[in-house]
Amino acid sequence: MADAAPPSKSRDLDKLLLRPGNLVGPTFDPGVQLRDDLQEYARVLVVGAGGLGCELLKDLALSGFKNLEVIDMDRIEVTNLNRQFLFRLEDVGKPKAEVAAKRVMERVSGVNIVPHFCRIEDKDIEFYNDFNIIALGLDSIEARSYINAVACSFLEYDSDDNPREETMKPMVDGGTEGFKGHARVIVPGVTPCFECTIWLFPPQVKFPLCTLAETPRNAAHCIEYAHLIKWDEVHSGQAFDPDNPDHMKWVYDEAVKRAELFGIPGVTYSLTQGVVKNIIPAIASTNAIISAACTLETLKIASGCSKTLSNYLTYNGVEGLHTKVTEFVKDKDCLVCAPGVLIELDTTVTLKKFIDMLEEDPKVLMTKASITYHGKNLYMQAPPVLEEMTRSNLELPLYDLMDKIPKDVLHATGTINKDDKKSSGLRKLRVVFKGIDGVADMDVAGGA
């Protein structure tokens, strides 16, 4: 029987956590202790403080999670205010993460939210390992891929290539596009990870350069002309920064001139942001629905009060209302959540040579790699102080740096070159040293 519970502000939450049920998880133990442990020990990281992120922070705080952190690199813009309800006009220009954390803590007593105003890549990998669950409220495929790779990097496999449960870092991912949205549960090693189902996302729309330069037909053509062609002509050698308001304003002004020249209407600043940054239109009600689904799944994972979603929920409110749950299958050969890319090496290979090999390995294709081993930095490309501290390791044999262990896992972080696109990424590498007693010959991945 459930423990007798004193009156609680979280009456509805108590109905889930203090009573047994027929659809609960195998480890569910209802009672006051579970509710108290959830509030005291469960740590959740919310990635993104935009339309969906604001809803997630609010919902998680109201669902009994007291230890939250949020990370976002953006500042508040006027165009955010119609749907990102935690922000006010006086907040324009301030970091989203800081304002969102402050507003939720003002509304929900007892919750502690730590904001991080930075890029997700700026945080050390171990930062993400401190959380029990990671909730994603992102609008970028690249950002999702990065967090997915980080979470999967903590996953370890036993000698039979079965995932070890204590190393799994669950993620709950939400996304919206107008009146459509999705919520999914990712348990590395058990469910498909983001990379396993990357094909679910449609390819980004691209315009032929000849059309942009010679025969623009709509507002988006004028904006991309200013972004892709005019910017390089005027600012030779200076990279365009989509998060720099001055850069975005310049593109908007040039797009307006281009549109006037060809008699094309419809160029606005918000459309310029949407085209350049590939921003997907968002609606507040869709964000609220998807956030509710993600928060419920987070609560299920943390408490076991019900079986989790299996494993992909789609929502469509364009005409009427339609929801569907699809169970996707894990890719056993996934480069991110599978046991890792196998690389066989001689014991004499230095760390520098190993890093160079990663650029040519067809399964890795990583440049400017930083290497960590069981949380220890073997070599870091940045910041300069860490690069200098680890530089001496470059000429040492990797076998020695890995404590002469015949086979183990390394993590490499760097720039991945895939399909002529560069993006930040992380890869799990299963390194096996040849000629060591007890290590059987394996297929070489990387041509060592």
CB 174 within 8 A of CB 137: yes
Residue 210 appears among annotated catalytic residues: yes
Active-site residue identified among 196, 210, 222, 305: 210
Residues 6+ apart with CB under 8 A from 274: 281
Residues 6+ apart with CB under 8 A from 228: 209, 212
Give the pairing type, strands 421-433 and 341-345. parallel
Tokens encoding 368: 């400017």
What CA–CA distance (Å, rounded) separates 101 from 51? 14
What CA–CA distance (Å, rounded) separates 152 from 148? 6
What CA–CA distance (Å, rounded) separates 80 from 93? 11
Residues 6+ apart with CB under 8 A from 183: 172, 173, 174, 290, 293, 294, 297, 309, 313, 315
State the distance between the two ends of the chain, measured CA to CA, in whole angstroms.
60
Q: Contacts for 317-326 with beta carbons within 8 Å, 24 or more apart?
A: 317/179, 317/180, 317/285, 317/286, 317/289, 318/178, 318/179, 318/180
Residues 6+ apart with CB under 8 A from 389: 377, 380
Active site residues: 210
